[in-house]
Amino acid sequence: GSSLEPQEHSMEPPAAPPEEEEEEEMPLTAAPGPAGCQLFGYVGIEAVLDQMKIKTMKMGFEFNIMVVGQSGLGKSTMVNTLFKSKVSRKASQPGQEEHIPKTVQLQSVTHVIEEKGVKMKLTVTDTPGFGDQINNENCWDPIIKYINEQYERYLREEILITRKRKIPDTRVHVCVYFIPPTGHWLRPLDLEFMRRLSKIVNVVPVIAKADSLTLEERTEFKQRIQEDLKAHAISVYPQEDFDQDPDDRALNDRIREKIPFAVVGADQEHQVNGKRVLGRKTKWGIIEVENPAHCEFALLRDLLIRSHLQDLKDITHNVHYESYRVRRLNESNGP
């Protein structure tokens, strides 16, 4: 209830020694502010969250996603469905035959997405040519090389004497691996790829074009994949070793039960019960992409964007990049 303006007729306290005057602090609400500046009515520690939110909205953030899988599994469509924009690479024009590269080629497309004042620099890296050849030996080498090159680029910027205030982050935060909907066991190519890549990047496996499987086939296929991953000691995201908080562990346990997600991608809207929904139209009905009863696309979207986006970036920086940095510095300091 005190006024912000100094009172002229108030009783002055007795003079204190110079040492005590330096230690005395004025209350925040008693200091007069500039004209037009409104002070907070309540001062609390949670005000830091508002400061962080405002700073993040001004600076924006980066998110880099890589999609890996054979041609025709709907990787580009899935990414466009995920962000509801044309963010993936352009497909071949109608009437033109899409050229299948002889080796794995990596193509990156960067977009700046803005929503409610928050800017996100999104980079989508596609891997055309992966698994399309008769002999797919070592087809994962270009992908591993690309991921390590992004770590190396960040490391070079970080060890400079005069560093940038904000280092451009091109590191791959998550790799979504598309498994063909065969309904059988995982192929040796799938196992070898996830075994190698899970050590350097966050790998999230998904069953592509899950509408080609019945519900019973889908459930049995997911169980077989989970058995294969456990038998070959492949740790996909979210990893059990990084669960520290009990609440996070409980949430991640429910997610691990659903992995791999059976997803369906679509970039066209259809009219269903008076509502416009994303889906695939067939002769016997419409497969709604965002309907949990039809597919698990909503679970994948929540994992990548709503609940674990920052955790993906933290694990990339604190675990995968850190292990690469330690290895590189040991190599440079060795004899």
Q: How many structural domains is the chain composed of? A: 1
Q: Give the per-residue pLDDT at 61.
A: 86
Distances (CA, A) of 178 to 174, 190, 319: 13, 9, 24
Q: What is the DSSP string of 101-146?
A: PSS---EEEEEEEEETTEEEEEEEEE-TTTT-SS--TTTTHHHHHH
Residue 192 lies in a domain: yes
Q: Which segment, 6-10, 270-274, 322-326, is predicted with the most confidence on average?
A: 322-326
Residue 82 lies in a domain: yes
Q: Give the per-residue pLDDT at 98.
A: 55
Residue span of the structural domain in which 65 resides = 49-87+101-265+293-333
For residues 212 and 52, the model is more confident at: 212
Report, in angstroms and rounded to the nearest whole number, the Rg of the chain calculated over CA atoms.
Answer: 26
Residue 251 lies in a domain: yes
Residue 83 lies in a domain: yes
- What's the rounded mean pLDDT across residues 29-48? 58
Residue 297 belongs to domain with CATH number: 3.40.50.300
Residue 21 lies in a domain: no
Q: Which residues contact 242 (CB under 8 A, 6 or more apart)?
A: 315, 319
- Answer yes or no: are the C-beta atoms of 149 and 40 closer than 8 Å: no
pLDDT band of residue 4 (cuts 50, 70, 90) is very low
Distance between CA atoms of residues 312 and 305, nearest Å? 10
Read off the tokens for 243. 């669960």
Residue 6 lies in a domain: no
- Answer yes or no: are the C-beta atoms of 147 and 172 closer than 8 Å: yes
Residue 42 lies in a domain: no
Q: What is the pLDDT of residues 73-85, one digit of tens each?
A: 888 888 888 887 7
- What's the rounded mean pLDDT across residues 264-271? 83
- Answer yes or no: are the C-beta atoms of 200 and 150 closer than 8 Å: no
